[in-house]
């Protein structure tokens, strides 16, 4: 076993504190990564607080992990020592089900093994995430990161990036299309960048005029204020695709009204009730679809990273030390971040030294 250092929560109400634990020695297909940066995802906040009633403690959060490969197993092919590498929300899956066979491990019939707050397959060991100094992951669940990108700003791509890239690709967003990104946070700001890079006419749909201004800088062609009824009416039935990144329950009906016939609104932010409820007529009136999308498979995650390298896309980040992670959470709760906190793991090493 390898001794690892990190930060963990021990129950739903306490802050993150220093934590020592063990990682497995890398097996033949494993990659050992020295973690350099880890993004703070909004879901980390839900998980440490047990908002989804499935939290396991102690918990080392973090699933937006980038670092350098320091050791590889005998059968590892695509990565070598010294490479930059990334790990996202999953570290394992069944490999046998139709979804896994189709490179859609996130929809694994048995459930993918999550990077933290889960158990390793075949044993009862907890998985521990990226708020730590190292991680050991099977090669299939590691992506290779090109040297050309600003590494600290790559970290959020492993969750916020793939979560927005995958649905834009799945619903074939491209040139000639009018695409709306609803909500401007960690997910939304990536949605704008990707939709723009894919060639669409991008409309940022938000409640707040100030966010609108920033959206232009990020690449949005138009801003639509969702509280402006006249503006919403003027855009009725005109969108080819809507990416809904709002992380809390909200009324979908005004957004569905923006879709053209036969088009889709995909939610990526809300894991709880879509209330107030959808109205049947909203859908029936134009054969419209409401759908959802979860992260992306590992092959698509690599494709997304390569797309980012090609288009010079990274996340807009604000750096924090591991010692300040609890106050970063307080700011995140108030949406006070543009647009993703990333922990510089040098701060953890300095403390452990």
Chain positions contacting its own copies, by CB under 8 A:
98-99, 104, 107, 109, 170, 237, 249, 261, 264, 267-294
- 14 vs 237, beta carbon nearer its own copies: 237
Give the 3-state secondary structure of residue 66: strand
- 70 vs 283, beta carbon nearer its own copies: 283
> Is the peptide bond between 58 and the residue preceding it cis, with omega within 30 degrees of 0?
yes
Q: What is the closest distance, in whole angstroms, from the C-beta atom of residue 161 to its own copies in the complex?
A: 17
Torsional sign, CA 94, 166, 45, 346: positive
- 197 vs 265, beta carbon nearer its own copies: 265
- 71 vs 170, beta carbon nearer its own copies: 170
Torsion of CA 250, 48, 187, 287, to 10 degrees: -40
Q: What is the closest distance, in whole angstroms, from the C-beta atom of residue 63 to its own copies in the complex?
A: 16
Residue where the block lists tokens 């080392």:
60
Residue where the block lists tokens 């046998």:
96
Q: What is the closest distance, in whole angstroms, from the C-beta atom of residue 54 to its own copies in the complex?
A: 11
- 293 vs 301, beta carbon nearer its own copies: 293
Q: What is the closest distance, in whole angstroms, from the C-beta atom of residue 241 to its own copies in the complex?
A: 13
Q: What is the closest distance, in whole angstroms, from the C-beta atom of residue 52 to its own copies in the complex?
A: 9
Give the 3-state secondary structure of residue 107: helix
Residue where the block lists tokens 């000639």:
176
- 272 vs 333, beta carbon nearer its own copies: 272
Tokens encoding 83: 């490479």
- 216 vs 291, beta carbon nearer its own copies: 291
Q: What is the closest distance, in whole angstroms, from the C-beta atom of residue 167 to its own copies in the complex?
A: 8
Contact 86, 65 (CB under 8 A): yes
Contact 138, 29 (CB under 8 A): yes
- 266 vs 320, beta carbon nearer its own copies: 266
What CA–CA distances, in Å, run from 75 to 31, 70, 275?
10, 15, 49
293 — phi, psi (to 5°)? -150, 140
Torsional sign, CA 256, 257, 258, 264: positive
- 144 vs 260, beta carbon nearer its own copies: 260
Cβ contacts of 150 within 8 Å, gap of 6 or more? 314
Residue where the block lists tokens 């690709």:
169
Q: What is the closest distance, in whole angstroms, from the C-beta atom of residue 116 to its own copies in the complex?
A: 18
177 — phi, psi (to 5°)? -105, 150
What CA–CA distances, in Å, run from 130 to 170, 253, 326, 344?
28, 38, 15, 11
Cα 122 to chain center, whole Å?
A: 26
Q: What is the closest distance, in whole angstroms, from the C-beta atom of residue 243 to its own copies in the complex?
A: 13
Q: What is the closest distance, in whole angstroms, from the C-beta atom of residue 170 to its own copies in the complex?
A: 7
């Amino acid at each position: 076993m390898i001794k690892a250092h990190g930060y963990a929560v021990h129950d739903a109400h306490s802050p993150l504190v220093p934590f020592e634990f063990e990682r497995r020695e890398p097996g033949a297909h494993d990659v050992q990564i020295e973690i350099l940066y880890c993004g703070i995802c909004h879901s980390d906040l839900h998980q440490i607080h047990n908002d989804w009633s499935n939290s396991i403690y102690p918990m080392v959060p973090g699933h937006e992990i980038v670092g350098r490969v320091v050791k590889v197993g005998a059968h590892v092919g695509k990565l070598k020592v010294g490479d930059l590498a990334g790990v996202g929300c999953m570290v394992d899956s069944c490999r046998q089900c139709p979804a896994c066979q189709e490179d859609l491990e996130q929809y694994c019939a048995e459930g993918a093994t999550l990077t933290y707050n889960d158990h390793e397959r075949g044993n009862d060991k907890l998985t521990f995430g990226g708020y730590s100094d190292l991680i050991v992951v099977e090669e299939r669940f590691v992506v290779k990161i090109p040297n050309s990108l600003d590494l600290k700003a790559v970290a959020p791509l492993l969750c916020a990036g793939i979560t927005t890239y995958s649905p834009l690709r799945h619903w074939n967003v491209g040139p000639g299309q009018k695409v709306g990104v609803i909500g401007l946070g960690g997910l939304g700001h990536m949605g704008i960048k990707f939709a723009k890079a894919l060639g669409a006419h991008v409309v940022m749909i938000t409640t707040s005029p100030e966010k609108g201004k920033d959206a232009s800088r990020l690449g949005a062609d138009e801003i639509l204020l969702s509280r402006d009824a006249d503006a919403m009416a003027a855009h009725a039935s005109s969108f080819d695709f809507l990416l809904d990144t709002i992380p809390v329950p909200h009324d979908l009906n005004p957004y569905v009204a923006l879709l053209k016939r036969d088009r889709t609104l995909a939610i990526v932010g809300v894991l709880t009730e879509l209330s107030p409820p959808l109205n049947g007529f909203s859908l029936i009136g134009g054969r419209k679809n409401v759908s959802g999308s979860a992260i992306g498979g590992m092959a698509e995650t690599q494709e997304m990273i390569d797309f980012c390298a090609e288009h010079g896309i990274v996340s807009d980040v604000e750096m924090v030390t591991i010692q300040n992670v609890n106050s970063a959470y307080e700011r995140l709760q108030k949406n006070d971040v543009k647009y993703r906190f990333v922990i510089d793991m040098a701060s953890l090493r300095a403390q452990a030294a």
